Structure 1
């Protein structure tokens, strides 16, 4: 039996989500959608790949595979990518773009954030959200964050829109939410092995984070997925660490587990539960802009 890391082997509080990557069948349509509706800028483009982001910072990689099948109904994978904006005004601008050019799928107040939901042309979920000040987040007696789902009044959000067509500086990928086949397996890997901390646990969902954030990763079994992630949809996502020492410590924990570790870009890659690849690197560069990707 593998040795489980001790409680002190968690991730540093500065840990964050970096880029996410999707396998797509129609690269031009998807790149245009994320530019015109979501508001990302195209930072680089080739026949095989499009890289989108904000102010030169890559956030989303679209990997073209015209033969990729549609994700199976039973397959695990992405529930949504969550783009976090720095203000309610930026959220209002995003709402205006979605209402003008696409269809809003939902809107919620989670007690820690205000969130808009939509689905891209190939069925991938998207959240665009802004956080409330951290000191206002509701917390349980043990200090973990309590999140809920309540109706969001869109009028105050619409009222502060400035008409910007792009996501502003400061936008990032706040979290990634996955559909998994087992919450226990998700917890074993991302909490016990990688080192995230549980923030909110529900009967069919689990939210984990570093540094007391409400969640960097979410997982749910709401749709009873039972197979691995295959075909279109999530290709990989990235966890960014603050320094080389943190990456080295993480590599040691991963090496003691059942998942093979391989080198990629300036970090490491692991195929985790449900066949979903997660990459880890130090937050000093953006290797996706190298010539090998464009």
Structure 2
């Protein structure tokens, strides 16, 4: 077990990237429905975000096959908005331009669920105040699922058509082919903390957040990730010494550490790429 976590308590999720086939349609969806602004655009790549913060990278590959039913990969990207007002506005946009798949109160947060045009899951949520999160005696967070009052959420909306500054990628939720292998990698190797365990799922965090990463086996995935969908996601860490520590700690393991833009990257047991970048 990691005595000092390789991913420190101060880490957070940065950007997430998707391999897409129809770049124009995906830009339109994430702009009009999720509310992200196009920050940079090239022929086959677009970066979208909120305020000045980049959150989503779309990488076009017109020949990328659909992700197969048995392949691991993304369950959902979770965009955290800073208020119930922003959540209500997101609900307005979904109802006007798209279709809502579901909505839940998780005790720690309130969440809306939908699916993008290329079958990637999305959560848009806002946190309840941290002091209200139910915790077990050992300090871990207790996440649950009950119905969300959509009429009450909609009543909070200010009608904003874009995601406000302060919107982030709060967490990533993955589908794995082996919960045991995922735990060994993310908990035993990288040092994330188990916050909640549920049926065939585990929710992990850097520090005391309710979760930065969810991992589940609900849909019986049995093969490594591939095809369209998640290209990579990143943890933002506080300093270069963290990257050095990770390189040194993993030098004699089977986990390869490679250079990436502004940082390093690792690959989890399902072939999903994780980048570490300095804030």
TM range (shorter): over 0.9
Contact 1:193 1:253 in 2 (8 A): no
Residue matched to 1:196: 192
Contact 2:20 2:26 in 1 (8 A): yes
Query: If the length of structure 1 is used for normalisation, what is the TM-score?
Result: 0.93
Residue matched to 1:104: 100
2:118 pairs with one of 113, 117, 122:
122
2:144 pairs with one of 129, 144, 148:
148
RMSD of Structure 2 on Structure 1 (CA): 1.0
Q: For each residue in 1:28-83, what CA deviation from the matched residue of structure 2 results, as whole angstroms up to 9, or x when unmatched? A: 00011000010000001112101100112110000000000011000000000000
Q: For each residue in 1:195-241, what CA deviation from the matched residue of structure 2 results, as whole angstroms up to 9, or x when unmatched? A: 11111112300100011001000000000000111110000000111
Residue matched to 1:225: 221
Residue matched to 2:260: 264
The residue correspondences of 1:140-219 to structure 2 (distance < 5 A) are: 140-219=136-215
Does residue 59 of the first structure (1) align with residue 55 of the second (2)?
A: yes
Q: Give the secondary-structure state (helix, strand or coil) at the position aligned to 1:273.
A: coil
Contact 1:193 1:257 in 2 (8 A): no
Residue matched to 1:93: 89
Gaps of 5+ in 2: none
2:135 pairs with one of 130, 134, 139:
139
Q: For each residue in 1:73-117, what CA deviation from the matched residue of structure 2 results, as whole angstroms up to 9, or x when unmatched? A: 000000000000000000000000000100000000000000000
Residue matched to 1:35: 31
Alpha-carbon distance in 2 for matches of 1:209, 1:9: 11
Alpha-carbon distance in 1 for matches of 2:197, 2:247: 27
Gaps of 5+ in 1: 284-294
2:275 pairs with one of 260, 274, 279:
279
